[in-house]
Structures are given as structure tokens and as C-alpha cells.
């Protein structure tokens, strides 16, 4: 885990924004490691991501490093500037891993991929719990030493099941929910508890072929490309801000099972990328779109 802090900003575009932000960071002794910005000229919006070292030479011990960046002092100084410039802003500390929950149903390929990446430290996070409406994932959870919670869901018990799930998430202090092929529709009430903090993978190149059987629909339509999409969940099914997409070329020779097999590889990739970018604090949502910083 990196000993850095990240500042994410979105605000109305105007001259001098980069200078104001970087200048204040410099005044407070920041060693800026990465900076990226984007302008949406049509909407007149400005977006920025800045990452800087919290301690000299990467040491967390003040005696060893000599100086530590004072986040509280900087935040107090930045608040009036942000208000003046109508900024929405957030600061994240990269060596404090996000607490996440993984949801799945019967398909385990995305779940297994995320757990492997987490164990190999490709994903810097704290996986607190795995939740499923089936028990197929229980052995996998035990193998990786992650607590497992089984919550059965039926049309008649959906509201009750979601309340149980929310209590589980609260108990584990979860900040991010990842739907690793969780084949249930979340209610608007559930989604409202985690705005821009539920990531889903949909087995289609959205907005084409929404719903439960997109590979069958793609095969029936005779498409030459199939895809997968990772997006934030909103109250509208499969319509949240898109984070990542990828595609694979197919032909008339491919049957539905071939599309499913190729699609699973795409699903693993786009979901893991989306989760990593969220954990790295590289994503800003605006409207129904995202900015994903390099």
C-alpha cells in the first residue's frame, strides 16, 4: 500500500484552477507524485486528481522521515478555496485499505478472480465478507479465510433479505459492495445506502442486451462482437455510470456456450479493473458518466 494521499475534485471550469490547487499543496510541503485533469467543454466542468506523498522517503515514522504532511491543516486551508470555486472534493489516504463486501450467486468465476487478485496483493483492500443467496461459494470463502454469509432471496422475502444484508454490511463496516455476478436486482432503498459505492459487472456491452440472458440475445441477433461492462449501480437496472468495458470478436460459427465462455473472461477483466480503479481513487462520477484518471 502506498503512503500517499489523493485529492479528487470536480467543479465549474475556469482559469487558474490547477495553479490554485497545486500552489496550496506546495505551500503545505506536498511532494506531488501524479496529477491529472480533464475538462468537459460542453458542460463547462473541470475534474482533477492529485496524488502526493504523506511522508518524506515513504517512511511513516516522523523521526525517520523528518516531516509528515498535515492532512487536517491542509483540509482546513483548502475548505474556503473549495467553497469559493464551487468544488466538490474528497481526500483519500491510500494506506488505509477500503473495506469491501463481495456478493455473488451461483457463478463463481468473477469471485475467484477477485479473491486471487486480493491474495496476491494486486487489489489493495480489506475483503470483510462474502454474501450469497446460494452456498456454492462457501468453500471458496473458507479457502481464502473470508467470512461467509448466506442470505436466501425469493420474491416474497426480498425486502427482508435486503434488510439482513444491510445489517451484515453495517456489522462489517463495509464501504464498497462488489457484485461479482450477483443475479438479483437491488432495490432503490438498498442502493441509496451506498451511492457510487456498488460496482456491478454485466455480461453485455451496455447499453445493448440488458437483462438476464444477454449472450442468448446476442447470439439470436447475430452480432460479431460481444462484450462485458462494469458500472456503478443505480436505481435503474443496468443504467449506472459505466466504469470499464471490453469486447471479443465472434463469428457465425460460435454457439451460445462459446459466447458464454469468452464472455466470462471479459467479465473477470472489466470487473477487476473497475474495482482496482475505485480502490485507487481514480474515478469521478458526474451525471450518468465517469471520468477514469490515468
- Active-site positions? 238
The answer to whether 168 and 148 have CB atoms below 8 angstroms apart is: no
Return d(Cα 223, Cα 264) in angstroms, integer: 17
What count of Cα atoms within 13 Å lies in the side-chain half-sphere of residue 175?
11
Say how many C-beta atoms besides its own lie within 10 A of residue 262's C-beta: 19
Q: Which residues pair with 291 in a beta bridge?
A: 284
Residue 109: which residues within 8 A CB-CB, separation 6 or more?
181, 264, 267, 268
Q: Closest Cα partner for 132 from 189, 198, 186, 184?
A: 184
Cell output for 94: 491510500
Q: What are the φ/ψ torsions at residue 6 (nearest 5 degrees)?
A: -130, 130
Q: Does residue 25 contact residue 52 with C-beta atoms inside 8 Å?
A: yes
* Cα dist from 225 to 75, 125, 212, 254, 255, whole Å: 47, 33, 18, 11, 13
Amino acid at each position: 500500500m502506498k503512503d500517499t494521499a489523493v485529492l479528487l475534485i470536480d467543479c465549474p471550469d475556469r482559469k487558474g484552477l490547477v495553479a490554485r490547487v497545486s500552489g496550496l499543496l506546495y505551500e503545505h510541503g506536498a511532494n506531488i507524485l501524479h496529477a491529472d485533469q480533464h475538462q468537459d467543454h460542453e458542460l463547462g466542468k473541470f475534474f482533477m486528481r492529485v496524488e502526493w506523498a504523506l511522508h518524506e522517503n515513504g517512511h511513516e515514522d516522523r523521526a525517520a522521515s523528518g516531516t509528515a504532511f498535515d492532512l487536517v491543516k491542509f483540509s482546513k486551508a483548502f475548505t474556503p478555496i473549495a467553497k469559493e470555486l464551487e468544488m466538490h472534493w474528497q481526500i483519500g489516504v491510500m494506506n488505509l485499505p477500503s473495506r469491501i463486501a463481495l456478493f455473488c450467486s451461483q457463478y463463481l468465476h468473477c469471485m475467484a478472480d477477485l479473491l486471487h487478485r486480493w491474495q496476491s496483493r494486486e487489489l489493495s483492500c480489506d475483503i470483510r465478507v462474502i454474501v450469497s443467496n446460494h452456498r456454492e461459494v462457501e468453500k471458496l470463502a473458507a479457502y481464502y479465510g473470508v467470512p461467509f454469509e448466506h442470505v436466501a432471496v425469493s420474491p416474497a422475502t426480498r425486502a427482508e433479505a435486503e434488510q439482513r444484508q444491510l445489517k451484515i454490511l453495517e456489522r462489517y463496516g463495509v464501504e464498497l459492495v462488489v457484485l461479482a455476478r450477483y443475479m438479483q436486482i437491488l432495490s432503490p432503498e438498498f442502493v441509496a445506502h451506498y451511492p457510487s459505492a456498488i460496482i456491478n459487472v454485466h455480461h453485455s456491452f451496455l447499453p445493448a442486451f440488458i437483462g438476464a440472458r444477454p449472450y442468448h440475445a446476442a447470439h439470436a441477433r447475430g452480432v460479431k462482437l460481444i462484450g462485458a461492462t462494469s458500472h456503478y449501480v443505480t436505481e435503474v437496472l443496468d443504467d449506472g455510470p459505466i466504469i470499464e468495458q471490453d469486447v471479443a470478436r465472434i463469428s457465425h460459427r460460435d454457439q451460445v456456450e462459446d459466447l458464454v465462455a469468452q464472455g466470462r473472461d471479459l467479465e473477470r477483466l472489466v470487473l477487476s479493473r473497475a474495482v482496482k480503479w475505485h480502490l485507487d481513487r481514480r474515478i469521478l462520477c458526474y451525471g450518468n458518466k465517469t471520468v477514469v484518471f490515468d
